[in-house]
Amino acid sequence: SIACGERDKANISAARELESILPQARLTVIRGAGHEINSEAPGETARFIIQALGGNIKSYQLIFILKIVIRNI
């Protein structure tokens, strides 16, 4: 899984290229976010991570993901 902010001008092209090169890769463009998707769109970033993990997560893993996404927990 690949995530990139829609306003991340430096990396969006590379993210699209990775998606085309890697056969099982799927690009998720985080709307309204630039380079720092975790601080600019924390909810959407958390959803991306959970989806990338297949939705099979335990509560302690969810807490860890939220700590990563929202740095000030």
Q: Are 40 and 32 in contact (CB under 8 A)?
A: yes
pLDDT at 21: 95
The model carries a pTM of 0.74
Q: Which two tokens stand for residue 31?
A: 């709307």
73 residues of the chain, pLDDT tens digit each: 999 999 999 999 999 999 999 999 999 999 999 999 988 998 888 888 888 888 777 776 777 777 776 664 4
pLDDT at 3: 96
Nearest Cα residue to 3 out of 68, 72, 73 = 68
Residue 5's DSSP bridge partners are 30
CA distance 10 to 19: 16
Q: What's the gap between Cα 60 and its chain centre? A: 19
pLDDT at 2: 95
